[in-house]
Structure 1
Amino acid sequence: MSDQELFVNNNGKIISNTGHSIAAGNRGYTYGDGLFESMRVMNGKVLNLGHHFSRLTEGAKILKMRLPAFYTTEFFQQQIEELIQMCKISEGARIRLSIDRLGGGTYLPDTNEVSYFIEIYPIEQNLFGLNAKGLEVDLYQDIKKTKNILSNFKTKNGLLYVLAAISAKEKGLDDMLITNDNGQILESSHSNIFVVSNGVLYTPSLSDGCLAGTMRMQVINLALKNGLKVYECPILPSNLLVADEVFLTNAVRGITWIGGYRTKRYFNTTARKIVTFLNEEWDV
């Protein structure tokens, strides 16, 4: 895949992803003044675009961005499909759709109009699969995630997640778990989290401040559809010590199981079932 020619869509203009593509003064770059969605491609088709676009539009309202009327699911479906075809992707890939406020102004923007940017990157796996070795994780203590109106959305301010991921690498771990000011576990540096005890799934509530992940919601729906109980409730570190399984979810990777938290070890029976449900759901 290294020699595969890739392109990006810069607000309707298709250009090579190897050249300059962001204009000076871009507010997503200068102020983090934007939102983004990461999406999975399977068999050359983007998955779950409707839910991603819904979260994007909700986030834009919070950020007081003015989306054009032609920004619809159908519009971005067309733009993404064109990019997939131009990049000759027939199996798996990840897509990042960004919305930035137009350049101009300082902290006070000159306008609330926006532009969009779409990137695509092939991945080796076409179907969702489970990691062979469970992740080793711990708690990230340096920064807490404070609950506010931005907590559930993917904004361009990702420093908390960047520093958590760096901390994991420095400690020889695979990931870090992020907590809120009440000490409740919300997510990891890149995913939502589920805890399994006695066959029941537990995941943090959106009201606690976790990301409103599209895969999180899909896993909840698939679990309920297949007869598994799911509860949205606070997750404390003590809950991890008595859990049977812990797994992470995000739109691109699907399900990633955790093998250990400190001295505690976990199974992956339920995680394997969820992966099967996902692939059956997206049998495109």
Structure 2
Amino acid sequence: MVNFNGKLLSETTFISIHNRGYKYGDALFETLKVVDNNILFWEDHYFRLMASMRILRMEIPMSFTMEFLEEEILKTVEANALSGENTRVRFNVDRGEGGTYMPMQDSINYSIVVESLEHSAYSFNDTENYRVDLFKDHYVNAGMLSNLKSNSKVINVLANIYAKENELDNCILLNNNKGVVEATQGNLFFVQGNTIKTPTLSDGALKGIMRKQIMELIKEYEDYSIEEVSISPFEIQKSDEVFITNVITGIQSVTHYRKKEFKCTVAKQLLEKLNEKLGLTS
């Protein structure tokens, strides 16, 4: 069942072909992890969504309080018989129907889709090979719009197709200045000695929720410091570790980039601290 503007509908009936999110990518979304009816990092997700809607000049409905949206999400989880389970949720907002590039109205649609997840805790696989390379066919624009979790993700789609064609697990996206931005499915961190670097938002990196959590953990970690900086592709091979972060997987270590092989020590330590902070167990 899908929640469309508060109504629970079958997945095949809730969206029109005239929907602006479908036609123009005029939409935003949040990917959420729900554990035992608790939306992880809900406050951060909510305020990112509100800020993103303002940037896209969407008219935020008066009903869109944190409490109301949380109730709608959990209602959808329950309707799909997933209460108390581990769940992945996509919360989508769009500008409804009508108009071409110029919207004809200010109304906002929302939809909520859920699916089951296997584990509550974020897990780490020491033996897994995870290979990445650069995607250079197209570039992310440096700037604020690239910070948003919008439906305009064609570069990520093409990069994932490229990864599959080249037997890679992920690709590293670059901006129009040839600087490192992110992976196709999350933010990037580079461990170099006692310094951990992550691409700055001004270079076009997604303003990731897990990115924020990991940066806060690193600041509490006396052995390491965190820097938000512009990162050249040449710095990848100078790193001791590279890892990717997102809300669903937590931390994914990169083991290979071209001929370079990375360690996973810091990523594993951070993942343990993250689970401990959240009180999650497998």
TM-score, normalising length from structure 2?
0.94
Alpha-carbon separation, structure 1, partners of 2:17 and 2:166: 37
AA of the residue aligned to 1:28: G
1:258 corresponds to 2:251: no
Report the counterpart of residue 123 of structure 2 in structure 1.
129
**Deviation digits for residues 249-278 of structure 1 (CA, Å, limit 9, x no counterpart):** 011111000000000000111111111111
Aligned-residue offset at 1:62: 1.5
Structure 1: stretches of 5+ with no match in the other structure: 1-6
Identity of aligned residues (%): 35
1:174 corresponds to 2:182: no
The total of aligned residue pairs comes to 277
List aligned pairs for 1:111-260, cutoff 5 A: 111-131=105-125, 132-227=127-222, 228-260=224-256
Alpha-carbon separation, structure 2, partners of 1:25 and 1:188: 32
Alpha-carbon separation, structure 2, partners of 1:123 and 1:163: 26
**Deviation digits for residues 109-137 of structure 1 (CA, Å, limit 9, x no counterpart):** 10122111011111112211124413100
Report the counterpart of residue 4 of structure 1 in structure 2.
none
Superposition RMSD in Å: 1.3
Q: Secondary structure at the match of 1:52?
A: helix
Residue among 37, 55, 59 paired with 1:66: 59
**Deviation digits for residues 151-191 of structure 1 (CA, Å, limit 9, x no counterpart):** 10011111010000000000111111001122211101111
Alpha-carbon separation, structure 1, partners of 2:81 and 2:120: 14
Q: Is the 8 A contact 1:199 1:270 kept in 2?
A: no
Q: Secondary structure at the match of 2:93?
A: strand
Alpha-carbon separation, structure 2, partners of 1:44 and 1:15: 21
Alpha-carbon separation, structure 1, partners of 2:43 and 2:61: 17
Report the counterpart of residue 271 of structure 2 in structure 1.
275
Alpha-carbon separation, structure 1, partners of 2:249 and 2:54: 28
Report the counterpart of residue 38 of structure 1 in structure 2.
31
Q: Secondary structure at the match of 1:161?
A: helix
Aligned-residue offset at 1:87: 2.1
- Structure 1 segments, 4+ long, off by >4 Å, are none
Structure 2: stretches of 5+ with no match in the other structure: none
Report the counterpart of residue 15 of structure 1 in structure 2.
9
**Deviation digits for residues 11-33 of structure 1 (CA, Å, limit 9, x no counterpart):** 1001233x322123111111111
Alpha-carbon separation, structure 1, partners of 2:228 and 2:143: 18
Q: Is the 8 A contact 2:131 2:256 kept in 1?
A: yes
Aligned-residue offset at 1:96: 0.5
